[in-house]
Amino acid sequence: MNFIFQISIPIPFEIQTVNIYLIKKEPITLIDTGMKLPETYRYLDNSLKEAGITWQHIKRVIITHGHVDHFGFGKRIMELSNPTFFVHKEEYLKIKEGITFPKGFAEVLIKNGTPDGMINKIINYVKKVNQFGDKLDKARFNILYGGERIEFDDRFYLKVIHTPGHTPGHICLYNEKDGIIFSGDHLLQKTTPNPLFDWRGKEGNQSQHSKVLIDYIRSLRKIEKLDLKIAFPGHGLPFRDIKSLIQKIYNHHSQRLKNVLNEMDSQKDMTPYQIGCKLFPDMNIKDVLLVVSEILGHLDILLDKEMVKRKVTNDRIYYIKEKLPFYKGIFKDIIKSYIEKLTNLIWLYNSIYPSFFSSNIRISKFFFVFFNLFIP
Ligand SMILES: [Zn+2]
């Protein structure tokens, strides 16, 4: 894989560095751009020289998602090389306008309980973040929908996999033959990617967030099925132990689901912000957006499982814990998994003693189907 160059560039965020990948195959392609910072130019320029190419050789830039650390330097690259930018339809407007957080985010924060006094500070913080990226309104775009093959010479290609979650139009790039994935911020080794609340569709002035964590888990299941040998992430070093990382992420979110539920009450309505304050008592102004997103994501799952209820009073959104009968919610999952295990066990014994167990199989399958169909 000597045609893949990882260029790791320092950024003033907690995650410390962001990666650009240079694919040295015709047409020469970059994956992501880094932020609008002098360091980005310096690191990129050095790496291009080391790889023996010039700025003019860059013909394509693929953006994994519309966050400023991944597209912020795009305008400078446009001026230096005039490449075509490949971006998913759902991220296009953010990148074209140079904004990481869509318009209307403050409204979502207010509705979900964030105190009015904090909103201006958060808006200022978001403005500062957005300054690390230029809008790409003059660039040439190739809009992606997922499923495309981005071809290189000698039959190498990268398949676009739409992996909504971290953002609605996040993409991973996959090569089946070599088991390579460029995972953007969908898979990171050192931190769990934050599924940030966002909006589907065009302008972000709707107050309804998209169900980012549900999307994210669904996208993880998609990636889990691929035959992967190595991941090149948006932050940090490449890594190979992909299956166990995915398992770690599942475990993290199921633990977080329990924690969110523990902080809630079945007597008292709480806003997502209030739940966030209990779960992360030390959060500062920079964390509010992440925390409210995190809580909303988990509440979406709990709503789906009918373990919480949502209501709107005076334009604020509240959640309350459901009082569940034992066969619902988490218990339902546990009972289900036991019935499944029992069915499998009987199935196994049946292959040894076919006549004795065959009727039991039918009975256990019947219970399994009955339980799934008739108990909500
Ligand atoms: Zn990132």
CATH class of the domain at 260-321: mainly alpha
Q: What is the pLDDT of residues 92-145, one digit of tens each?
A: 988 998 887 766 788 889 999 999 999 999 999 888 998 999 999 999 999 999
Please name the residue ranges forming H helices in 203-353.
212-224, 242-263, 272-279, 288-304, 329-352
Tokens of 211: 């169900």
More confident residue, 103 or 25: 25
Residue 54, token pair as written in the block: 């010039």
**Residues measured by CB to lie within 5 Å of ligand 1, the ion:** 69, 185, 234
- 65 CA distance to ligand 1 middle (Å): 8
More confident residue, 279 or 104: 279
Residue 193 is classified by DSSP as P
Q: How far is the CA of 24 from the centre of ligand 1 (A)?
A: 23
The set of long-range contacts for 343-349, using a CB threshold of 8 Å and a minimum separation of 24, is 343/368
Q: How many angstroms separate the alpha carbon of residue 6 from the centre of ligand 1?
A: 15
Residue 122 belongs to what H/E stretch? Answer: helix 116-130
As a whole number, mean pLDDT of residues 48-67 equals 97
- How confident is the prediction for the chain on average, in pLDDT? 88
- Per the model's pLDDT, the better-predicted residue between 194 and 142 turns out to be 142
Q: Thinking of the domain 4-248, which architecture would CATH place it in?
A: 4-Layer Sandwich (3.60)
**Span from the CA of 168 to the centroid of ligand 1 (angstroms):** 14
Q: How far away, in angstroms, is 277 Cα from ligand 1 center?
A: 25
pLDDT band at 357 (very low <50, low <70, confident <90, very high): low
Write down the pLDDT at residue 142: 97
What confidence score (pLDDT) does residue 346 get?
72
* Sheet containing strand 180-184, strands side by side: 149-151, 157-162, 171-175, 180-184, 230-233
Q: What is the pLDDT of residue 232?
A: 98
Residues in the chain: 376
Q: Do the beta carbons of residue 30 and residue 182 sit within 8 Å?
A: no
- How does residue 204 score in pLDDT terms, banded at 50, 70 and 90? very low
* Structure tokens, 13: 């965020």
Band the pLDDT of 344: cuts 50, 70, 90: confident
